[in-house]
């Protein structure tokens, strides 16, 4: 069987972080190319950075996007060179681990780069000139402001603005261009309609006259998105363009440009948009929305500061904060400042958010694959097959199984995928993965914890952790100084002051077992606590809870044996003594 080549590309604009929707598109592009390769054909996945909007693009953003793709394991065959560390097994029999080897991804084996559009300007100019020479494009001298005024005027007349090329004769345009007058270049839109053949949506027809003479090169000399994308897809040999449905209405322009330039039209597949559970489109703005809502609630609380005081506390100008609150801007910086101030977790939207929150790349990839696609297979017990890895996606991915309706981003499902993967790990693997994560996101905590402490806590904590970050929360008590944490007043009141005998008395009795139990390990410590409870004729909780509050300040902690063992005898005794002193002190109560 001869398999036709499949060259796909993911073409992010480096104007921010990688959105999960972008990651999903990249995954589909990767999978389609891999599938072709698996079928014995020539499959390549290309990354191209669309940075022609110089004001909004940054190298930092491009680097971050590549980093997140590599972290997800969505590796590209051609494109910007990325050198970094990919996960490699450290534990035999598993495919993950904390150590990794330096790897290089990308490159230009066919000589079709560079892969940053801003470095391809001479190529675009060659094709712009070709279109001008054939009368399919022409210079236009209006400034963006003039065009905006004309557009407003048309809207006022309840009409759609269409650029009118008849105002200036072609010869005059060319003369003014040659004389060096600043200009944009516009494409002569085709008279007839355009049909977009889409492998997911079928034929989509655009009527004659819907397209106007759109700009293909801006006055700053950079091509517009429409032009660059067409030239690049052709010159990079892209055979399949997979992108989100929001680009569908751009495609007739691309098809018209391809015809005018004598290029092939690649296969198009527009994939479903990703929506929140509440039916709104999932976007970066969701962070601003969440921050705004919580902030308004906080402002409404009795005794709350005024906006001006808040702005000072947040390090913002009152105007900036006010503009954010009225929705005039959706600044992520302001949203972040509010979130930090209120101790609020903003919704995860971008890949880096999920990464920081302690999600595993394999859980994200599995989940993303199901946003608009499914393998159409059943599990042995007759349910839809939903759990698989990237290799499975690469083996089974096909455009026929992409849906047309919007995909729903079900956060609870993603969290369930993640916790299941953590649940299936060995403790050693969990610790290794946590260390790798914490090196980036909790370096101080990681530096203070020994491997022994981690392996003591892992068996008890792992089944309770839905994310890697959850383990950080569980472990925080172990790295605070013995006299450096506060007691939850409610827990002190309920657990230490009340009861007959009181919790405080129990705590004093438990001190002896902490002082004597040997070995100082979870199993023997748990047994000692049980024995003490039996001796005193009380339930386990009446011994365990006072100890727990003394050791951690809270009524909730990992099992007591583990909590004690992680602290070590000396620290545990110091904490008990401090707590006894604090609770016995007549005037101050708990410190």
The continuous run of DSSP H or E covering 36 comes out as: helix 20-38
Which of the 8 DSSP states describes residue 49?
B
CB nearer ligand GLU, residue 161 or residue 263: 263
Count of C-beta atoms within a 10 Å radius of residue 221: 14
Sheet architecture: strand order including 215-217: 137-140, 184-187, 215-217
The continuous run of DSSP H or E covering 46 comes out as: strand 43-47
CB nearer ligand GLU, residue 34 or residue 243: 243
According to CB under 6 A, which one of 37, 130, 183, 247 is a site residue for ligand GLU?
Answer: 247
Give the per-residue contact string, 261-300, with ligand GLU (x = CB under 6 A; - = no).
----------------------------------------
> Which range touches ligand GLU (CB under 6 A), out of 7-15, 28-36, 85-93, 449-457?
7-15
Q: How many amino acids of this chain bind ligand GLU (CB under 6 A)?
A: 7
Write the CB contacts of 194 (distance below 8 Å, at least 6 apart in sequence). Answer: 205, 206, 211, 252, 255, 256
CA angle 110, 80, 248 (to 5 degrees): 90
CB nearer ligand GLU, residue 77 or residue 233: 233
Interatomic CA distance for residues 480 and 552, integer angstroms: 9
Active site residue 448: no
Write the CB contacts of 506 (distance below 8 Å, at least 6 apart in sequence). Answer: 499, 536, 538, 542, 543, 546
Interatomic CA distance for residues 22 and 57, integer angstroms: 16
Tell the smallest beta-carbon distance from residue 48 to ligand GLU (Å).
8
Tell the smallest beta-carbon distance from residue 347 to ligand GLU (Å).
21
Count of C-beta atoms within a 10 Å radius of residue 226: 18
Write the CB contacts of 283 (distance below 8 Å, at least 6 apart in sequence). Answer: 19, 349
> Which range touches ligand GLU (CB under 6 A), out of 6-14, 166-174, 187-195, 453-461?
6-14
Annotated catalytic residue, options 152, 281, 284, 466: 284
According to CB under 6 A, which one of 6, 11, 47, 457 is a site residue for ligand GLU?
Answer: 11
Interatomic CA distance for residues 473 and 464, integer angstroms: 11
The verdict on 34 binding ligand GLU (CB under 6 A) reads no
CB nearer ligand GLU, residue 243 or residue 433: 243
CB nearer ligand GLU, residue 50 or residue 234: 50
Tell the smallest beta-carbon distance from residue 479 to ligand GLU (Å).
42
Provide the pairing of β-strand 137-140 with 184-187.
antiparallel
> Which range touches ligand GLU (CB under 6 A), out of 5-13, 162-170, 431-439, 539-547?
5-13
Tell the smallest beta-carbon distance from residue 203 to ligand GLU (Å).
20
CA angle 199, 201, 204 (to 5 degrees): 105
Tell the smallest beta-carbon distance from residue 253 to ligand GLU (Å).
11
Give the per-residue contact string, 547-576, with ligand GLU (x = CB under 6 A; - = no).
------------------------------
DSSP H helices, 279-360, are 285-300, 307-314, 318-325, 332-342, 351-356
Interatomic CA distance for residues 428 and 362, integer angstroms: 18
For the stretch 308-316, contacts whose Cβ atoms lie closer than 8 Å and that sit 24 or more positions apart, written own/partner, are: 310/341, 313/341, 314/338, 314/341
Interatomic CA distance for residues 50 and 211, integer angstroms: 23
Contacting ligand GLU within 48-77 (CB under 6 A): 50
Tell the smallest beta-carbon distance from residue 560 to ligand GLU (Å).
52
Tell the smallest beta-carbon distance from residue 288 to ligand GLU (Å).
20
Interatomic CA distance for residues 541 and 548, integer angstroms: 10
According to CB under 6 A, which one of 6, 7, 8, 12 is a site residue for ligand GLU?
Answer: 12
Give the per-residue contact string, 205-244, with ligand GLU (x = CB under 6 A; - = no).
------------------------x-------------x-
> Which range touches ligand GLU (CB under 6 A), out of 11-19, 430-438, 469-477, 561-569?
11-19
Show the tokens assigned to 401: 């199984």
Tell the smallest beta-carbon distance from residue 138 to ligand GLU (Å).
25
Which residues participate in catalysis according to the annotation?
284
Residues that bind ligand GLU (CB under 6 A): 11-13, 50, 229, 243, 247
């Amino acid at each position: 069987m001869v398999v036709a080549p499949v060259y796909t590309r993911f073409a992010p604009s480096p104007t921010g972080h990688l959105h999960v929707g972008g990651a999903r598109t990249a995954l589909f592009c990767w999978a389609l190319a891999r599938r072709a390769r698996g079928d014995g054909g020539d499959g390549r996945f290309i990354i191209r950075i669309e940075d022609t909007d110089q004001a909004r693009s940054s190298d930092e953003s491009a680097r971050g996007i590549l980093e997140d793709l590599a972290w997800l394991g969505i590796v590209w065959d051609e494109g910007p060179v990325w050198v970094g560390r990919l996960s490699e097994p450290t534990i035999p029999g598993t495919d993950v681990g904390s150590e990794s080897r330096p790897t290089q991804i990308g490159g230009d084996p066919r000589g079709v780069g560079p892969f940053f559009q801003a470095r391809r300007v001479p190529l675009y100019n060659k094709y712009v000139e070709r279109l001008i020479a054939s009368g399919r494009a022409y210079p236009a001298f209006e400034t963006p402001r003039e065009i905006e005024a004309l557009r407003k005027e048309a809207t006022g007349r309840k009409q759609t603005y269409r650029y009118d090329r008849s105002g200036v004769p072609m010869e005059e345009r060319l003369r003014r261009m040659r004389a060096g007058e600043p200009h944009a270049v516009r494409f002569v839109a085709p008279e007839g309609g355009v049909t977009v053949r889409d492998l997911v949506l079928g034929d989509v027809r655009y009527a004659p006259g819907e397209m106007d003479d759109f700009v293909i090169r801006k006055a700053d000399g950079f091509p517009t998105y429409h032009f660059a994308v067409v030239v690049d897809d052709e010159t990079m040999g892209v055979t399949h363009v997979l992108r989100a449905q929001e680009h569908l209405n751009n495609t007739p322009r691309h098809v018209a440009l391809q015809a005018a330039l004598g290029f092939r039209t690649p296969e198009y597949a527009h994939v479903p948009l990703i929506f929140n559970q509440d039916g709104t489109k999932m976007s970066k703005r969701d962070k601003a929305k969440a921050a705004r809502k919580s902030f308004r609630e906080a402002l409404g609380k009795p005794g709350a500061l005024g906006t001006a005081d808040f702005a000072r506390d947040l390090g913002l100008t009152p105007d900036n904060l006010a503009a954010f609150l009225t929705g005039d801007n959706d600044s992520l910086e302001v949203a972040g400042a509010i979130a930090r101030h209120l101790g609020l977790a903003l919704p995860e939207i971008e890949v880096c958010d999920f990464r920081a929150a302690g999600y595993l790349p394999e859980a994200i990839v599995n989940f993303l694959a199901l946003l608009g696609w499914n393998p159409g297979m059943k599990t042995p017990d007759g349910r839809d097959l939903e759990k698989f890895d990237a290799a499975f996606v690469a083996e089974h991915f096909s455009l026929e199984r992409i849906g047309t309706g919007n995909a729903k981003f079900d956060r609870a499902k993603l969290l369930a995928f993640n916790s299941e993967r953590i649940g299936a790990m060995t403790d050693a693997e969990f610790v290794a993965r946590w260390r790798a994560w914490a090196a980036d996101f909790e370096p101080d905590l990681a530096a203070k914890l020994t491997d022994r402490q981690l392996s003591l806590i892992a068996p008890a904590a792992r089944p309770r952790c839905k994310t890697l970050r959850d383990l950080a929360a569980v472990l925080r008590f172990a790295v605070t100084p013995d006299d450096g944490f506060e007691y939850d007043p409610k827990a002190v009141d309920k657990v230490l002051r009340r009861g007959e005998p009181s919790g405080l008395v129990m705590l004093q009795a438990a001190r002896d077992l902490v002082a004597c139990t040997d070995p100082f390990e979870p199993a023997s410590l748990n047994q000692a606590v049980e024995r003490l409870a039996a001796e005193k004729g009380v339930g386990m909780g009446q011994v365990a809870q006072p100890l727990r509050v003394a050791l951690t300040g809270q009524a909730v902690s990992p099992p007591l044996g583990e909590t004690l063992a992680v602290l070590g005898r000396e620290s545990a005794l110091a904490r008990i003594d401090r707590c006894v002193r604090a609770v016995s002190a007549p005037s101050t109560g708990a410190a």
